[in-house]
Structure 1
Amino acid sequence: MPPTPSNAISSSTTPRSTNQPSRTPTRGVTIDPIRILRQKWKVIILWAIGGVFFSGVFYVGSFYLYPIYSGQVVLRLRPQLGDAKEIFGEATTQEETVARLAQTEAQQMVMRSVLVNAVSNRDILKTKWHEYYLDENGQFDTEEAVDDLIREISSGHKRGTQFFALYWSAHVPGDVPILLNTISETYLSELKAESSRKFNEIKSVFLKKQTELDTKIDESKSAVRRFIVDGNIPSFVEDSQQSQQGLQELQRLIAETTMDLSLVKSQRGQIDAKLKGRLEASQDDVRKAEADPALLQLMRDINDLSISMQSKKARFGPMHPEVRSGEQTLASALAQKEKVLEDIVRRDLNGQFKTISDRQGGLEDLLMKQTGDFEIERKRIEELAARISDLEAMKDRQDRLEEERGIITKTISELDLARAREDSIPVSIAQKALTPREISFPYWKIVLPGAWFAVFALGIGIIFLREFLDQRVRFASELAGLANGKILGVIPDLADDESSPSKVDFVVRESPQSILAENYRQISTNLLKALSDDVGGVIGIFSAMPESGVTTIISNLASSVKVVGKGVLVIDTNFRKPGVARMFGVSEDAPGLSDVLAGNAEFNNVIQTSAFGIDVINAGQGRMIELLNTSKMSEVMDMAREKYDVTFLDTAPAGIAAEAIVVANRVDASILVVRAMRDQRGLITRLVGQLSAQRGKFVGAILNRPEQTAGGYYRKNAQVMVGYGASPSKATPAAGTA
């Protein structure tokens, strides 16, 4: 087996405080299907061979003991009739609609009522199938037979067509056409009966409606005649036409009067504004006033004064007293002229105002009279129109009743015509069921490979199920998920080492070229990388259960570390079943750790040196487990740190011995040895969590003795490694040399 890569371990060297819990989420354990298939290839081949045998036996047994013959009856959806007079119905073209209709008809064909009537047919007595449902008295059990048919009969729609089919299978080929044809014919008979019943129900509704319409039409005609006679409708019509013309004339006169009144009101408002000074007199008003005789005389006098003034200016000059006196007289005359003009304009405006006011009053009286006459005439005309409208409404109602009666009569005629047509039933038989000529089960092209595949898949499923349910730690990938990715390395089994060492103990020294020795060297390299300056050299080697190989691993790790020139000490803290002294070949009866902890010996006096130069402290005599949880134990650890570079502690199994966790709190680093194919995942997960929560740094786990995959890359790498480490052969001379 190849060594584990050195980067498989976390390089974190941050020291942990005492009893500080650390909960790092672990990765889920996954199953490698390729690895399982390579491991179980022999079992898989056996399952494949067993599948071949089983498929053959199953085919032969089914052919003679349980043959099945299948058949079908094909039906067609008829085009729907839009009108009873149509020669051909309109076919439904939407695939979804056709499929839905076909499924509906197929489900109706296998309804219990249809099947009960079908199996009650005398033709069913000709089948072998009906004998399966005879009771003790020889009577046919209809209910049980129908229950089975509901489960057995299937249907299907042929996409892109109007066809659908019913499928059924039986052990006797002659039973298939009898039963399927009987069911289809029974269904068609019930469809015809149902169609006739619906036609009769619908026709009865229309006939009843037709009778009601006839009665209403007769009543409407009588009411129209009475209304015409009682209301003298013909004279009303003539009078209504004359009154309508008079009403239009009144409307015209009212419009003219309203327009005149509006004009008069506007003129009156303008005159009133001129009188009150809000509006100046117009030029027409001034010209009219200037035509007044008094004003004309005054203007002639002013003209005479003006001529006299011009004559005097020419004779005496502008500054002569007579000229100045004449100018004053002329100015006074002009002022008098303006005053007279204003009085005449006001006098004329007052006269116009009175005239306009009188005209406005007359127009208002006229408009009131015209409006009153119009209202009287309008009400009379409306009364006449209402009577005529009532008459028209009565005639319209009568026309609608007669039109509705015509539609009802036409519908009844179409119902009779549609009922007489064969295609009024939505389904027809396109092809009756025939006697099957070939067996449908077992069909060898399907049964043989299918049975083989089922057996083979069952075998594969059982293999993977066992792997899934197996809670043991088996591979390094599984351990990586449990140990937070911290794996120092993997120790293969002795039998998997291609160099065939004689034993595992001290294999680093006795078989340095072996795969085991190389793996131990890789693990010791990873371990030394993990032990930085701020982490001491006291390392606790822990296991979950007994016989995990802790002592053997310590012997090889200590040997590997010793080779690189480190001072190494091994202490046996397993007071329950010590084995370090025997492994390293030192005295088991000599004083040891328990004696130092009890105060009966000194630390330096209990150290023994093994044959490989590794110092060892055995468990000692009088091994009381409680001594491991004393302050003296901490002092021993301190003395070991001072005197040795690396100290390994062999501990009792942590899964059954509580003192192992106590020791974990005294060391600087901890390693968990996991025995492959034995230790449970849950236990390893718990121990990893406990070791990670102690003072000592959890540097990783070692997987011991996993099962290897035959022909895998582990074995190939191992062969290459053995070949590379072997003694080189003599060099072959180059071509052309002597």
Structure 2
Amino acid sequence: MEKIGTNGQTFFQEEETINLYEVIQVLYRGKWLIILIFILVVLATAIFTFMQDPIYESTAVILIEKGKKGLGLAQAFDITGFSEQRNIKNEIEILKSRSLAEAVAKKLIERVYVEPEKKSDTILVILPSRKELKEGIKPFAKIETIIERFEKNVKIESPRDADIIKITARSKNPKEAALIANTFADAYYERNLMMSRNESRSVRKFLEEQLADKRKQLDQAENQLESYMKSAGVVALDEESKKLIEQLSNLESARGEAIVDISAAKKKLDSYLEQIKQIEPEFVKVATEALDPYIKYLQEEIAKLEVTRDQIIAQNPKVGSQEVLNKSLREIDEQLASLRKKLQEKIAEFLKTGFASSGSPGTQTYDPTGFVKELKQKILLTEIELSAYEARKKEIEKLIEQLNRKFETIPAKLIDYARLERARMSAEKLYLLIEEKYQEAMIAEQSQFGYVQIIDYATPGVRPVSPKVHLNLILSIIIGLGLGVGIVFVKEYFDRSVKTPEQLEKRGFTVLSAIPVIEIEAKLDGKQLRKDEGRNIAAHLITHLSPKSPVAEAYRVMRTGIQFAKLDKKIKSIVVASSAPKEGKSTTASNLAITMATAGLKTVLVDTDLRRPVLHRVFNVPREPGLTDYLFDRADVQEIFKQTEVENLYLVPCGVVPPNPAELLGSEKMKEFVEYLKLNYDFVVFDTPPLVAVTDALILASQVDSVLLVASAGKTEIDVLEKAREMVQRVGGNVIGVLLNNFDASATYGTYYRYYRYYRYYDYYGADRDKSRG
């Protein structure tokens, strides 16, 4: 952006960029704030960390075994997807379930009663809360409360691409953390074992009921046969009748077996349908009609051949051995092998593609864990199994019907005996068959150990996992420094005050000098005083009373800058002004006048701050008669000039404070007075009110050679200072430059070279003083 600088030349103000040196400056200036925030954050973190109770963690590890979770029929057909591992997410959700948490809570509570010797080991997780104690709930918390605590302090997770699940419990007591994790593992194992045995248990209970029923039927048949033989005498059957009865009893036994298998399959199917009904009701109707007709046809053909084969072997047992395998049996076996292969392929194909059409659009259930799909597969496999049993039963009944017609040809006197013998033999064979199945079911139930294996039980932790003292302290150091630096930069961003000479130079200002901070100790007779070399001196007169001080040297640097600001025209009059009050313009005006006077120039200092005059107190001269008295024609021009204790320096005090300062300074008589001063004095200094507040300084700015702006480091806003410059330029005034007041170079630059740039004369004058004392 194009602007006019203090030297009257055009300059381009570039957008402010931050370089490394400026960053270091900002950090150095805000070092105490950064240190304070750092200490507070670290201290607060340390107090918080060490006041926390130590928390211990213990982890139990369980393995979900592959190959033990498939479906029986699915594994038999080796169908892709069924023999694979069940989604581990299912098991994690089971471990997170409310029912398992409730079981764990009850186990922990029972532990106190079952093992009273361990009651001294307080289990914190089951103790009642303060609220529950007030409600009179003791000695244990509610189950709901314990479950909520588990949700907060028990973590279930599985490493990626692994069949491992980790149960991690947290507690203030390391033994309790291990106990909770192990109780969860045990409860999950027991639940899995129970669920794994459920199907076998259901079949075993069903067979147990059937066994008792068939025992009654057998006893009844034997009693009836015995009673008949006693009443009618011993009856002998011919060989053909015996063979016929044997065949019928075998077939009726086989039919009874098929009926039992059908009942068991239906019971299992009903259980699956009830589950799917809660999730996807539409599938229940679809499932009953979904079986492929070709599968039914193959099952019927296989059933016919199996029954035929069984009859051939029953009529001649020796035919079944390999040595005497006849041609018809060999052909049946070949047909059965071919049909079973086709059935296996068709079932596999059906299960892979059968779900695409199982349900209308929009009825498919969101199934992230695969549970619904697995349940549907179980339903379809059970239906296939049921269809096979029904096909076998149908073929057996056909054969029974054929043999019954032959049975009716037995002589009338033997028919009753034959019926009773047939009933007894059927009941006996069916009873023995069911008893065998019952024993198999018992073995199958006890041999089910589930698919969960506890690899590692949790052990009490040695070191607490929380609070992480080292990590917390390291983080607090990082956060403390980061927060401190951040706040400093935010504060710097919003702080628009002038801080360094370079900042002013970037805005197009000519910095004539930077005045170090004058340490104020007290006020004496209206004068601000500082201590230097064991004596108090007035800050306004520091260049006179302490000419070898760094501050006095800085004012002399300003004097030199003013004298050589314009080589083509000598500056004889200057207005000293500031953008706002309390920025040191009166002190600057006084010391500027003193340095000009000590340089041999006949100098006059005019107090034109007609609102708050102070210079008469600084130089200890009467305020009246003064400038206003002259302007109001109450005094002659010679009367208002006061000789000061500084050689070549004269002061024109304010005089009576007028009601209309701006009008007075803008009068023709004031203009004439300014011209009079320029003619009779080598250098004229005007002390004026702040530029932005009132127009007094602007009135004089157009009548003098130059305007000196005074800025206070850390106080004057750069935007306000720019506005002051623009105001002076608008009225035709010439801003010669800026004096940066109250500048603390050590706080700004530290030990950098720029510190020495502003204070390189310290050692020189210090050594000079030492010599003079010696």
Preserved CA contact (<8 Å) 1:47 1:456: yes
- Give the conservation status (yes or no) of the 8 Å contact 2:576–2:688: yes
SS of structure 2 residue aligned to 1:174: helix
Q: Conserved in 2, the CA contact under 8 Å of 1:482 and 1:685?
A: no
**Do the aligned partners of 1:13 and 1:532 also contact (CA within 8 Å) in 2?**
no
Residue of structure 2 equivalent to 1:696: 733
Residue type of the partner of 2:656? Q
Partner of 1:543: 578
Kept after mapping to 1: 8 A contact 2:182/2:458: yes
Is residue 723 from structure 1 mapped to residue 710 from structure 2 by the alignment? no
Evaluate the alpha carbon distance shift between residue 506 and residue 211 of structure 1 in structure 2; reply closer, same or farther with a 3 A threshold: closer
Amino acid aligned to 1:613: N
Q: Would you say the 8 A contact 2:603–2:681 is kept in 1?
A: yes
- Does the residue aligned with 1:176 lie in a helix, a strand or coil? helix
Q: Distance in 2 between matches of 1:537 and 1:556?
A: 16
Aligned twin of 2:327? none
> Is the Cα–Cα contact under 8 Å of residues 471 and 681 in structure 1 kept in the other structure?
no
Q: Is the 8 A contact 2:13 2:506 kept in 1?
A: no
Kept after mapping to 1: 8 A contact 2:563/2:571: no
Q: Who is 1:577 aligned against?
A: 612
Residue 112 of structure 2 is aligned to residue 122 of structure 1 = no
Shift of residue 519, structure 1, vs aligned partner? 1.0
Cα 1:606/1:124, change in 2 over 3 Å: same
Whether the aligned pair in 2 keeps the contact of 1:595 and 1:621 (CA below 8 Å) is: yes
Shift of 1:131: 1.1
- Change in Cα spacing, 1:109 to 1:185, as seen in structure 2 (3 Å) is farther
1:492 CA displacement: 1.1
What secondary structure does 2:126 align onto?
helix
Q: 1:649 is matched with which residue?
A: 686
Residue 84 in structure 1 maps to residue 75 in structure 2: yes
Partner residue of 1:380?
Answer: none
Alpha-carbon separation, structure 2, partners of 1:689 and 1:525:
25
Say whether residues 1:435 and 2:420 are aligned partners: no
CA contact (8 A) 1:661 1:691 kept: yes
Letter in 2 for 1:489: S
Quick one: which amino acid aligns to residue 106 of structure 2?
N
Cα distance in 2 between the residues matched to 1:467 and 1:413: 71
Kindly report which structure 2 residues correspond to 1:596-615, keeping only aligned pairs within 5 A, or say none: 596-598=630-632, 606-608=640-642, 610=644, 611-615=646-650
CA distance change for structure 1 residues 529 and 72 in 2, over 3 Å: closer, same or farther? Answer: farther
- 1:67 is aligned, of 45, 51, 54, to 54
Q: Matches of 1:712 and 1:552 in 2, distance apart?
A: 29
Q: Structure 1 residues 536 and 721 mapped into 2: Cα distance closer, same or farther (>3 Å)?
A: closer
Q: Which segments of 5 or more consecutive residues in structure 1 lack a partner in the other structure?
A: 1-8, 16-21, 93-97, 221-398, 731-738
Partner of 2:172: 171
Asked if the contact 1:154–1:166 (Cα under 8 Å) also holds between the matched residues in 2, the reply is yes
- Counterparts of 1:93-492 in structure 2 under 5 Å? 104=89, 108=93, 111=96, 113=98, 116-123=101-108, 126=111, 127-133=123-129, 135=132, 136-138=135-137, 140-154=141-155, 158=159, 163-184=164-185, 193=195, 200=272, 209-210=290-291, 212-213=293-294, 404=346, 429-442=454-467, 445-446=470-471, 449-450=473-474, 453=477, 460=484, 464=488, 473=497, 475-476=499-500, 480=504, 486-492=510-516
**Contact 1:73-1:431 within 8 A present in 2 as well:** yes
Structure 1: distance between partners of 2:459 and 2:596: 88
The alignment partner of 1:557 has SS state of helix
Give the TM-score taking structure 1 as reference length. 0.54
Corresponding residue number in structure 2 for 1:393:
none
Q: CA deviation at 1:124?
A: 5.2
- Structure 2 residue aligned with 1:670: 707
- Aligned equivalents of 1:455, 1:406: Cα separation in 2: 62
TM-score by length of 2: 0.52
Preserved contact between residue 78 and residue 423 of structure 1 (Cα < 8 Å):
no
Contact 1:482 1:684 in 2 (8 A): no
Distance 1:209 1:216, change over 3 A: farther
Equivalent pair of 2:630/2:636 in contact (CA under 8 Å): yes
Alignment match, 2:559: 524
Greater relative CO, 1 or 2 (CA 8 Å, sep 6+): 1
Please tell me whether the aligned partners of residues 527 and 699 of structure 1 are also in contact (alpha carbons under 8 angstroms): yes
The amino acid that maps onto 1:71 is S
How far 1:649 sits from its partner (Å)? 1.5
Q: Deviation at 1:26? A: 8.4
Q: Distance in 1 between matches of 2:550 and 2:126?
A: 76
Question: Take 1:106 and 1:666, find their aligned partners in 2: how far apart are those partners?
Answer: 93
Q: CA deviation at 1:555?
A: 2.2
- TM-aligned CA distance change 1:717 to 1:682, over 3 Å: closer
Count matched residues. Answer: 526
SS of aligned partner of 2:592: helix
Offset at residue 663 of structure 1 (A): 4.3
**1:217: how far off?**
7.6
Aligned mate of 1:12, from 7, 10, 32: 7
Once the two structures are superposed, what CA deviation does each residue of 1:41-79 show, in whole Å capped at 9, x if it has no partner? 7898898888998787666644xxx23111223345655
Residues 577-596 of structure 1 correspond to what in structure 2 (within 5 A)?
577-584=612-619, 587-592=622-627, 594-596=628-630
The 1:576–1:47 alpha-carbon spacing in structure 2 relative to 1, beyond 3 Å, is closer
CA distance in structure 2 between the partners assigned to 1:545 and 1:555 by the alignment: 18
Question: Structure 1 residues 451 and 213 mapped into 2: Cα distance closer, same or farther (>3 Å)?
Answer: closer
CA distance, structure 1, for counterparts of residue 666 and residue 100 of structure 2: 86
Shift of 1:129: 0.7
The structure-2 alpha-carbon separation of the partners of 1:435 and 1:402, relative to structure 1 and needing over 3 Å to count, comes to closer
Which range moved further: 661-670 or 35-44?
A: 35-44
In 2, Cα distance between the equivalents of 1:209 and 1:549?
99
Change (3 A) 1:49 1:476: closer
- Quickly say closer, same or farther: Cα 1:24–1:708, change in 2 above 3 A: closer
Q: Which amino acid aligns with 1:69?
A: Y
